[in-house]
Structure 1
Amino acid sequence: MFGESTDVTQIAMSVLGPLQFSVNGIDVTPTAPKQMQVLALMALNEGQVVTASNFVDELWAERPPRSAKTTLQTYILHLRKLMSKAFKDESAVVRDILLTRQGGYLLRLPMAPFDLRQFNDLSTQGRIALAQGDPQRGSHLLRKALEYWRGPALVDVPIGSVLEPKVRGLQTQRQIVLESRIEADLLVGRYDEAILDLVTLTAQQPLNENIHEQYMRALNLAGRRSEALGIYHRLRKNLMDELGLEPSQKLQQAQHLVLSSQSAA
């Protein structure tokens, strides 16, 4: 267990952007690329053992050196030395944070500020509020969750074969939360804010039907119906050119809704 000198509130980890790790207010983030990979992999599996074979796959892929496991032990030792700088009594404290377990290593951050945990907690609460018919609270919580992102996840860390799907999953998770927040904004009448996000999102993802449907709906609700129809036609062209497909029924229904609104206006 953590002793009195290791109050867990004094430990902070960030992965939603550059990798950052501090203990007692002292930055203990490694700067060597492979040590950063080791720390990042443990952070994304916080509270779970990461096996030596997973580390080896991440660090060296299919061509590990004969000394791979010994080198990994050296990286762990260097991480512990970095952390020990933050404590007067270094040995027992550091072992409570970065633990050796049979077959691997484990990073413990119980109750510590950890941006990934905070993002997950707030986004879950926000999506529950939205599902329960409280878009105002949902929008607030989802917006707070997204504030933890300071750039692409682990943007300054070399990414190997083990980290890659995890990082890709985090980016997908962020996209889902952002789309949920936009949905909440539309339900409470924040059309202009939603449109600002959707201008960028649709440019970045020209074949994503869901965000185009949200964009059309936001423009329609804001009274910009001709622009909403323009978005539909742009998406249809992109889909036909790239995939040879017509827009989905959901998009076609959105187009009909805009046309109906135009006729009624």
Structure 2
Amino acid sequence: MRVQIEVLGSLTAMADGVSFVPSASKPRQLLAMLAVNAGKVVTVTEIMAEIWGEMLPRSASHALHTYLSSLRRALDEAMPGQERASRDILVTEHAGYALNIDPSCVDANRYHEQSNAGRWAADRGDYAVAAESLRTALEMWRGPALNDVTTGSHLEIEVLRLEETRLADLELCIDAELHLRRHRLVLGELAVLCARNPLFENFHAQHMLALYRTGRQSHALDVYRRFRNAMVSELGVDPSPRLRQLHQSILAGDPVLDDPGYVSSGWVPTAVAG
């Protein structure tokens, strides 16, 4: 018997290749809560806070038992003939409940393991391994985390943590690609990232540098102009001094921009920083 659960996109849960994702909203929310804490006990208090927040109905305890029973029933239907399998997987503990599965059965945990490998490689200056590991991690994403699950206070924090980690990994991965002089390879990706994150400065800096290194100085300057306009219009502030310095270096055609070591810690040029 093997269980696989995916949360990096829509919620999927398979037991022996058969889905056991509930169709009802609150049981799905319960399954997601247990999945992101696979192998750990989630207390009844935490579950109730996630599902109902501060508006706890008088029937909450009974309803929770109903949701747990529906999850176990779905597991049993996915694994016919395996007696007590559902109770061995969805276990009752003194303080709450847990999915008794290896954490690696959940894609988010495999993602973090691969992401950490990429970050460690980048810290060592091994940009080829960093880029490969981070690309492998990022390819696990199928869309926004838990995009078809109602989220309460606990899951909202988990989704935010996952999405912020994804953005940081994208930035670090592109940084590694720039170190490896793969400027043309990342141009399309950066154009999309800038369009989707119009106020995210680091992506715009990486886009400017990649464009400049492929002989598109005017396009790099246009990226800066659009970003500055967005910052002034939306926030009433100019870009950071670091981005303004990059802009001036591009205007001057500073030869240091062609040095792979120019990009460090996301995008800060070592020749300018400090």
Same structural fold, with TM-score higher than 0.5 when normalized by the shorter chain: yes
Offset, 1:105: 0.8
SS in 2 for 1:90: coil
C-alpha deviations, 1:53-85, integer Å up to 9, x for none?
Answer: 222222222222211011101111111111122
- Which residue of structure 2 lines up, in the alignment, with residue 84 of structure 1? 76
- Which residue of structure 1 lines up, in the alignment, with residue 133 of structure 2? 141
Offset, 1:202: 1.1
Aligned partner of 2:180 among 183, 188, 198: 188
Percentage of matched positions with identical amino acids: 39
Aligned partner of 1:26 among 18, 26, 34: 18
CA distance in 1, matches of 2:180, 2:64: 52
- Which residue of structure 1 lines up, in the alignment, with residue 208 of structure 2? 216
- The alpha-carbon distance between structure 1 residues 243 and 112, as it changes in their structure 2 partners (threshold 3 A), is closer
CA distance in 2, matches of 1:62, 1:24: 37
Q: How many residues align structurally?
A: 256
Quick check: 1:205 aligned with 2:213? no
CA distance in 2, matches of 1:155, 1:90: 33
- Tell me which amino acid in the other structure corresponds to 2:83: E
SS in 2 for 1:30: coil
Offset, 1:111: 5.9
- Which residue of structure 2 lines up, in the alignment, with residue 3 of structure 1? none
Quick check: 1:54 aligned with 2:46? yes
- Which residue of structure 2 lines up, in the alignment, with residue 150 of structure 1? 142
Offset, 1:262: 6.6
TM-score of the two chains, using structure 2 as the length reference: 0.88
Q: RMSD of aligned C-alpha atoms?
A: 1.8
**Gaps spanning 5+ residues in structure 1: where?**
1-5
**Gaps spanning 5+ residues in structure 2: where?**
259-274
- Which residue of structure 2 lines up, in the alignment, with residue 67 of structure 1? 59
TM-score of the two chains, using structure 1 as the length reference: 0.91
